[in-house]
Every structure is written in C-alpha cells, then in structure tokens.
Amino acid sequence: MDSSNGLNKKNVRELVREQSQRKGVSGFTLLELMVVVAILGIAAAIAVPSFKSTVSRNQLISHAQEVAGIIAYARSEASKASNGSVTLCTSNDINAETPSCSGENENTWDAGWIVFSGDGLLRVGQASTGNLTIRSSGFARDGQIVFDNTGAPEASGTFTLCNDLGESQAKAIVVSVAGQSRLAVDEDTPADQIVNDQVGGNVQCPSV
C-alpha cells in the first residue's frame, strides 16, 4: 500500500516535470515576439488609414442623403403652407428659442439650418460634425432657398459637402429649377474624378 502511494507520487512528479519541460519548449523566444510585434505594427499602419478613409466617405454619403431629404421635405411642405411657400435657410442660432436665418450672403451651412413658412418653424437641423463642411452655390440668395407652392426654388443651385478627403471625394446635391434634387456626378470628358455643380463646373471645397 505504502509503496503504491510512493510510486503514484513519483509518477505525478515526473508528469508535472514533463509538462513544464513541454511548456518551456513551446513558448515564444524574444526574437519571435519581436517579429510578431513588428508584423502587427505594419498591419496596423496599413489598416488604420484605410479605415479612416472609409469612415470619411461614409460620413459624406450620409450627410448628402440628409441634405436631399431636407430639400424633399421643404418642397413637400411648400404645397401645404398657407402662404404657398417654404424657406430653407442656414442658421447660426439653432439652439435659440426662436432660431432665425443667417445673413443672406451666408452660404455656410455648417452651424445648422431651419425650415419655416408663414405658419411658423417647421424643422431645425443640427450642425455638421467633425471636419465636414456644407456650402451652397447658385441659388438666388446665398444661404436661403424659397420653394413656391409647386416645389420650385427661385433658381437652381448646388450643395457641396467636403471633408478631409478633398474635392476628389466631395459629394454634391444639385437642385434643379423645378426643385428636384440629384446626386452630382462627374460630367467631364475625360473624367477628372470631381463632381460637377448645376452649371457643369467642378465643385470646390473651402480651403483649410
């Protein structure tokens, strides 16, 4: 009985020793660890810029869709307004109790926007996030677009959306004289990878 217990203890000790030796053999050397860390660093250096670019492109697409939605909403509400018109304008005081339009020469929409009619304020839009910029051009009044009861603005125009990707990745919404909006495309021949505004010119991003 005693010899059996001693034998079992010996076997256990040998088993533990063998497992420890196996662990020592299967572990990483310092050189191997350095190689792994270097590979991970290279992979991160490649992946991070690509991820940031993807996020920036998605930001532009999302906000372009929002602008198109705002225009469609303002056109729809114009047919219901008692005075037969609805105004979409840029606003620098969207958090005020009664937000108002910015100056007529202000075509910068980064701080927010409002939609209103003779019946009162209809909708308030929040300021753009991050480094996104939104500019309007071509409309009869900078920073202010009035839709009549047919949904038509006073003139055609373009909303241009930019971020750190520059003009080659900029998005734009073109609004026709009938009030219909579309996503701008590159109409140049040969293509120069920059979308065109309502008169066929390349959109421009504000200088940083």
User: Is the pLDDT score of 7 beyond 70?
Assistant: no
Residue range 33-38: mean pLDDT, rounded: 78
- What value does the mean pLDDT take over residues 177-187? 95
For 143-174, how does the pLDDT look when each residue is reduced to its tens digit (9 = 90+)?
899 999 999 999 999 999 999 888 999 999 99
| pLDDT value at 59 more than 70 | yes
pLDDT (mean) for 53-78: 90
Q: What torsion, rounded to 10 degrees, do the Cα atoms 26, 32, 33, 34 define?
A: 170
Q: What is the DSSP-derived secondary structure letter of residue 128?
A: P
Check residue 72 and give left, alpha or beta (phi > 0: left; psi -120 to 50: alpha): alpha
Q: How far is CA 169 from CA 45, 49, 50, 51, 59, in A?
A: 22, 15, 14, 15, 11
Count other Cβ atoms within 10 Å, centred on residue 68: 16
Residue 203 has a pLDDT of: 96
Write down the pTM of the prediction.
0.74
Predicted local confidence at residue 21, as pLDDT:
58
- Is residue 9 over pLDDT 60? no
Q: Whole-angstrom Cα distance, residue 47 to residue 141?
A: 44
Specify the higher pLDDT residue, 48 or 153.
153
